[in-house]
Amino acid sequence: MLRIALPILALAFATLAAPAVGAGSAGVPRHGLALYGDLKYEPGFTHYDYADPEAPKGGSLSLSAEGTFDNLNPFILKGVAAAGASELFESLLESSADEPDSAYGLIAESVTLAPDRTSVAFTLRAEARWHDGSPITAEDVVFSLDTLKTKGHPSFRILYADVTGAEALSEREVVFRLRASENRKLPFLVATMPVISRAYYSANEFDRTTLKPPLGSGPYRVDKVDPGRAISYRRDPAYWGAHLPIKAGRHNFDVIRYDYYRDRTVMVEALKAGAYEYHEEFTSKTWSTAYDIAAVEQGWMVKEVLPDNTPSGVQAFFINTRRAKFQDPRVRLALSYAFDFEWTNKNIFYGLYDRMASYFENSELAARGLPTAAELALLEPYRDELPEAVFAEAFEPPRADGGIRGNLRRARRLLNEAGWVVRDGALVQSESGEPFSIEFLYFMRTFERVIGPYVRNLERLGIETTMRLVDVPQYQRRLEEFDFDLTTQRYVQFLSPSSELRDYFGSAYADQIGSRNLAGIGDPVVDALIETVLAAPDRERMTTAVRALDRVLLWGHYMVPQWYKGEHHLIYWNKFGRPASQPKYAIGLDTWWVDRRKHADLTTYRKSLD
């Protein structure tokens, strides 16, 4: 599944001799930011709890990616960025993987949040360096904000819309001016902004696709590039931040390589043949049937399930409401009634999934049952603008436990109420006679087994359907331009949602090219609730506001809910060692290492097969 997501940066952490910025500590230089409450890690710690400081360095990790790539700049709209490219860059602060709402210093050694939250200042580390040995300066940070907002992916303009500017106070001091002090996470957004080199991008165009390795500052550098087919990264032995406590036990592989495959079936066979070594499996049929092989039975390959404590977010057939035929919510609900999740889960997914029933699935943020009194207090001012069901019913996706026929009858009634009738076997608009047609846009052949049965149900309603398979670059371009009827997409939500909600669901971005508001949602109530989420002063009220927002989105029927699972399904060759504990909010692959004994035994085993 191609995921449109914010750039995820591999950041680092350092321990300083001051407490975190939290309640009551604004206006004083501190070593980190805590959105709600206190930081877990106090000054003086030596490593994260989920990392082993004695982990050996060396060896390689080989991974896979789907599709192709033509760009090493992950921060622009153009092109398809190579897997791992964002790991070349660092940021001022980094979030740990076992806390939901904390960030610590990386490039910055301290952070000062103004008491009124209208500015946040950072002091940079004197030792912070680019890969060419030049210092990372406050001017680089100012340049990064200006460049990302003016030339970067549209998501950056959305994220930093309330940042009025940044100013270098000295070579190592920078301050950000914040327009919206009620957006509590805004300081975090600038703190985790990717920092790029002013000198490098003064000599190299930022907003053009390129396969030239960019100048970064992270633990790895680009090693080799085979355009569109493979890319590898080599650990930098002179990495400036290797001494930081947060680096103890992390970034242990000398080389990380991604091989690209255009087909998931070929990808899986390559894994079993040893072409690469680690894979997270997202296809239930493959997980259930493809790995019943001797290598797994004998322990040379490991098939493992790990808990996923992060929000699964939303995965669905998103409906493009910019198109007239989808603007009536009764039509959109009818499309939900035509999708038979129960049959799909039993016959295609081997019963491995649960039904998605929230935009914030697999988390405490998901709306469940009837609204609480606190949720109703937020929703009541908008009662005249919302369906009564928002207040009086618990949202549940249509179920087809007894077969799909009853659901299709309900779908027909909804379509009739919305002005669509069947004539000569075709569903048409009652007045104009215009036929109802749907094109499904997708890029993975494996998804045809899901779309196919859904298409047959829609055709029973008289809807003319087309399945349009395109390559990854065309798929990405058509989504950016909103050139689709229905498409599958997954948005992984954050533990503490922020300005990305405007991008996903906000009216201001419904028609902005490159926006992730795929459904074209333009609802003032949604806009107002998003701002309530952003302004929440504590986690309890933030959670209440997100649940209220979730209810309004769900009853808008902007998508056909699909499925989720709160687990990671991993399959990998048994050459790795790893710490005793997994971080709560990640797999923690950056803390794994090559176990030399296991690697030697595995090498002997593979040679015996030749």
Find the radius of gyration of the CA atoms of the chain.
25
Would you say residue 18 has pLDDT above 50?
Answer: no
DSSP state of 56: P
Give the mean pLDDT of 173-180.
92
Would you say residue 23 has pLDDT above 50?
Answer: no
| Residues 485-524: tens digit of each pLDDT | 999 999 888 888 988 999 999 999 999 988 999 999 999 9
What confidence score (pLDDT) does residue 183 get? 82
Considering only residues 241 and 3, tell me which one the structure prediction assigns the higher pLDDT.
Answer: 241
**Range with the lowest mean pLDDT among 95-109, 209-223, 557-571, 583-597?**
95-109
Would you say residue 253 has pLDDT above 50?
Answer: yes
What confidence score (pLDDT) does residue 24 get? 41
**Range with the lowest mean pLDDT among 63-72, 156-165, 587-596?**
156-165
pLDDT band at 15 (very low <50, low <70, confident <90, very high): very low
Q: What are the E-state strand segments in 434-491?
A: 437-442, 464-469, 486-491
pLDDT band at 106 (very low <50, low <70, confident <90, very high): very high
pTM above the 0.85 mark?
A: no
What confidence score (pLDDT) does residue 16 get? 27
pLDDT band at 182 (very low <50, low <70, confident <90, very high): confident
| Residues 574-587: tens digit of each pLDDT | 999 999 999 999 99
Q: In the structure encoding, which two tokens stand for residue 538, read together?
A: 């504590």
- 3-state SS string for 352-376: CCEECCCCCECCCCCCCCCCCHHHH
Which helix (DSSP H) or strand (DSSP E) does residue 232 occupy?
Answer: strand 230-235
Spatial distance between the Cα atoms of 566 and 354, rounded to a whole number of angstroms: 9
Give the mean pLDDT of 303-307.
95
What's the start-to-end Cα distance of the chain, in Å? 34
Output the CA angle 8-186-76, nearest 5 degrees.
40
Output the CA angle 574-579-584, nearest 5 degrees.
110
Q: Which domains does the chain have, with CATH numbers?
A: 32-46+67-203 (3.40.190.10), 315-564 (3.10.105.10)
What confidence score (pLDDT) does residue 180 get? 65
| Residues 264-284: tens digit of each pLDDT | 899 999 999 999 999 999 888
| Residues 321-377: tens digit of each pLDDT | 999 999 999 999 999 999 999 999 999 998 889 999 999 999 999 999 999 999 999
Q: What are the E-state strand segments in 45-133?
A: 60-66, 93-94, 102-105, 108-113, 119-124
CA distances to 122, 334, 358, 394, 543 from 401, rounded to whole Å, are: 56, 17, 20, 19, 32
Which helix (DSSP H) or strand (DSSP E) does residue 406 occupy?
Answer: helix 405-417
Q: What percent of the chain has pLDDT over 70?
A: 95
Helix (H, G, I), strand (E, B) or coil at 117: coil
pLDDT band at 26 (very low <50, low <70, confident <90, very high): low
Q: In the structure encoding, which two tokens stand for residue 60, read together?
A: 């390689």
